[in-house]
Chains A and B, each alone.
Chain A
Amino acid sequence: MIELNTHMITADKLTKQFGDFTAVDQISFDVSKGEIFGFLGANGAGKTTAMRMLCGLSLPTSGKASVNGFDVNTETEKIKRSIGYMSQKFSLYEDLTVRENMRFYGGIYGMTIPQIKLKTQYILEHLHLEKEKDTLVGSLPLGWKQKLSFSVAIFHDPSIVFLDEPTGGVDPITRREFWEMIYEAAHKGTTIFVTTHYMDEAEYCNRVCIMVDGRIEAMDTPANLKKQYESAHMEDVFLKLARKATRIAD
């Protein structure tokens, strides 16, 4: 369901410097509506910084970018209303129950109580969590927590969702299920921007962009990249590119 003509995210020479250190160095790209756009890179390559600028969590040093048509320099409030965000750290409240977490996140995005109830019911059924709806999130297994996190990130039906290494520490089966959820959301027209360093996950993306030392080294579909770098797997493509890195990972 990718609509190539509708650009949900555009970045034009987007740069972020911390003192002398250039974390993100003039990156430019477009992401279309309904696309699953993967951001790959070693630790410290600048993925998270780039994503934070797009989410309005961090102001760019120079360059331009827009998300859902809103400028990241000036219209961060409007951006925040139209995106969902899932961070590296598990970010639901462990001392709240499944339902209370949904109620809270729905509430801070300004949803009405009937809307929240309807959506909560849908997600609980979908994730087969009906029995656990009044369980404290802290006592759920990690895999369920991650799936729940994603459901909460798209709870308010954002047009774009940003996922920052969403599957860290999760087993392969759960990761598979997690990606099925991502596909389903993309199918409904949600644009997915995901950072990862699992190369098998890169294969699931419509397009990937490989970052090395804050710059974009390569950007294409996984199939084209493999052809271009004469590799059988994305892993080899990544290793060929990432070896150029001079920056020490954090």
Chain B
Amino acid sequence: MKQFIAFVKKEFYHIWRDKQTLLILFGMPIAQIMIFGFALTNEVKNAKIAILNPSKDIASATLTQRIDASRYFDVLKNLQSQSQIEAAFQEGKIKLAVIFPQDFNASLLHNNTATIQFIADASDPNIATTLTSYASAIVQDYQEEMKGANTLPYTIQTDTRMLYNPQLKGAYNFVPGVMAMILLLVCTLMTSIAIVREKERGTMEILLASPLQPIVVILAKAIPYLVLSMVNIASILLLSVFVLELPIEGSLPLLIGESILFTITSLSLGLLISSITASQQVAMMISLVGMFLPTLMFSGFMFPIESMPVPLQVISNIVPAKWYFYIVKAVMIKGLGIGAIWKETLILSGMTVFLLGLSIKKYKIRLA
């Protein structure tokens, strides 16, 4: 036990003295949450649009006003003629143009029909689709009101509800994703580097020549990063609750318990990497390319797994982060209990036991 304490203390000195790494360790989760929360968002807010309204009557004016008033759109300019549309898009400032015909209100009243044209910048197809559907919805709403009392004998009304995320906030998806990435990065990358550094500097030889048990070395290396990860998890959760206003629906102890489980999975991966590599560079490469990229691609955080080809869907099952991501979403967003995620928890536990066992077995207690 004395050995263990001395070792853990030494590890904390290493981490503490390396200010740059320390800054990255604690700064990264905060930076990532902020970047994903405020900069990298696929929600469309205040898209700049242009309006061409030659009729200038009551109906078109009301519609224009409604579009401008919605939080999705911001009317940047009023165009004067058809010829200006192309130029407005080429300037790159507007994403959508709304074009009313001549005599919009009159044709609506006399012919019972009128056409509004939406022209979208489809160089980003997702944004173009989103914008046109938002705009159509606003027009639809207006039409409903216009109908007033003289309605058709029957109408079909759609009632859409967005479950778990009524405001369609991106944070519901990326906070669990960032948690998985940070844990993986801190535990896998930092642990593997910490052990390989001892090999590179030659201190591993001294440790091996000492009466230290391998398990003591492994645990003492892992504990500080477990603690750091918990601090990171706490800061991510605090930020998402108080800054991004994302509620934690499920049980907090369950969420933390699952996070500790995934931390241990990541630590085992780091130990495994360190036992098969001899230099810090290689350890870093394997951690980043071999762990980080698959996590980004296959956890379901960036790309939906359901729409991948079947072979890739199968591969995604061996990525531990996928299961953690699922669990966090279930607990944090949907407020589900252990009953709903016991299968995923079991899979993750199985992976952890396997990886930990393998890395302890692989840890060389002799040089040759």
Give chain B's interface secondary structure class: helix
A69 is an interface residue with CB less than 8 A from chain B: no
A89 contacts across to B, CB distance below 8 A: 201-202, 205
* Extra contacts besides A52-B367, A136-B17 (9): CB < 8 Å: A55-B209, A57-B208, A87-B202, A100-B10, A103-B6, A104-B10, A107-B5, A109-B210, A112-B2
Distance to closest chain A CB from B5 (angstroms): 7
Q: Are A107 and B13 in contact (CB under 8 A)?
A: no
**What would be 19 A-B contacts, judged by CB atoms less than 8 Å apart?**
A18-B368, A55-B209, A85-B209, A85-B210, A87-B205, A88-B202, A89-B202, A91-B206, A93-B10, A93-B14, A94-B201, A95-B17, A96-B17, A103-B6, A107-B2, A107-B7, A108-B3, A108-B210, A109-B3
- Supposing A56-B209, A58-B366, A87-B206 touch, asked if A110 and B201 sit within 8 A by C-beta, the answer is no
B114 is an interface residue with CB less than 8 A from chain A: no
Cα A57 to Cα B209 with chains together (Å):
6
B211 is an interface residue with CB less than 8 A from chain A: yes
B18 is an interface residue with CB less than 8 A from chain A: yes
B368 contacts across to A, CB distance below 8 A: 18, 49, 52, 58
B207 is an interface residue with CB less than 8 A from chain A: yes
A148 is an interface residue with CB less than 8 A from chain B: no
A226 is an interface residue with CB less than 8 A from chain B: no
B212 is an interface residue with CB less than 8 A from chain A: yes
Cα A85 to Cα B203 with chains together (Å):
11
Cα A52 to Cα B366 with chains together (Å):
9
Q: Are A58 and B210 in contact (CB under 8 A)?
A: no
Q: Are B203 and A104 in contact (CB under 8 A)?
A: no
The 8 Å CB contact of A96, one of B2, B13, B205, is: B13
- Supposing A81-B211, A104-B6, A110-B3 touch, asked if A91 and B17 sit within 8 A by C-beta, the answer is no
Q: Are A93 and B203 in contact (CB under 8 A)?
A: yes
Q: Are A104 and B9 in contact (CB under 8 A)?
A: yes
Interface residues of B, count at CB 8 A: 25
B208 contacts across to A, CB distance below 8 A: 57
Q: Are A107 and B211 in contact (CB under 8 A)?
A: no
User: B1-38: which residues lie under 8 A (CB-CB) from chain A?
Assistant: 2-3, 5-7, 9-10, 13-14, 17-18
A100 contacts across to B, CB distance below 8 A: 10, 13
The 8 Å CB contact of B13, one of A59, A85, A95, A112, is: A95
Chain B residues proximal to chain A, CB less than 8 Å: 2-3, 5-7, 9-10, 13-14, 17-18, 201-203, 205-212, 366-368
A77 contacts across to B, CB distance below 8 A: 211
Q: Are B366 and A57 in contact (CB under 8 A)?
A: yes
Cα A100 to Cα B9 with chains together (Å):
9
Cα A87 to Cα B201 with chains together (Å):
11
A90 contacts across to B, CB distance below 8 A: 202
The CB with the most chain A CB atoms within 10 A, among B13, B206, B207, B366, is that of B206
Q: Are B366 and A59 in contact (CB under 8 A)?
A: yes
A80 is an interface residue with CB less than 8 A from chain B: yes
B205 contacts across to A, CB distance below 8 A: 57, 85, 87, 89, 91
A83 is an interface residue with CB less than 8 A from chain B: yes
B366 contacts across to A, CB distance below 8 A: 56-59
Q: Are B18 and A95 in contact (CB under 8 A)?
A: yes
B13 contacts across to A, CB distance below 8 A: 93, 95-96, 100
Closest B residue to A57 by CB, please name it. B367
1/0 contact string of A46-86 vs chain B (CB within 8 Å):
00010010011111000000000000000001001101011
Cα A57 to Cα B212 with chains together (Å):
12
The 6 A-B pairs at the shortest CB distance, nearest first, are namely A107-B6, A89-B202, A85-B209, A80-B211, A95-B17, A81-B211
Cα A93 to Cα B16 with chains together (Å):
14
Cα A95 to Cα B201 with chains together (Å):
12
Closest B residue to A138 by CB, please name it. B17
Distance to closest chain A CB from B73 (angstroms): 56
1/0 contact string of A111-129 vs chain B (CB within 8 Å):
1100000000000000000
Distance to closest chain B CB from A97 (angstroms): 9
Distance to closest chain A CB from B17 (angstroms): 4
The 8 Å CB contact of B2, one of A18, A88, A110, is: A110
Distance to closest chain A CB from B301 (angstroms): 35
Closest A residue to B212 by CB, please name it. A108
B201 contacts across to A, CB distance below 8 A: 89, 91, 94
B18 contacts across to A, CB distance below 8 A: 95
Cα A162 to Cα B201 with chains together (Å):
19
Q: Are B367 and A107 in contact (CB under 8 A)?
A: no
Q: Are A107 and B209 in contact (CB under 8 A)?
A: no
Distance to closest chain B CB from A43 (angstroms): 17
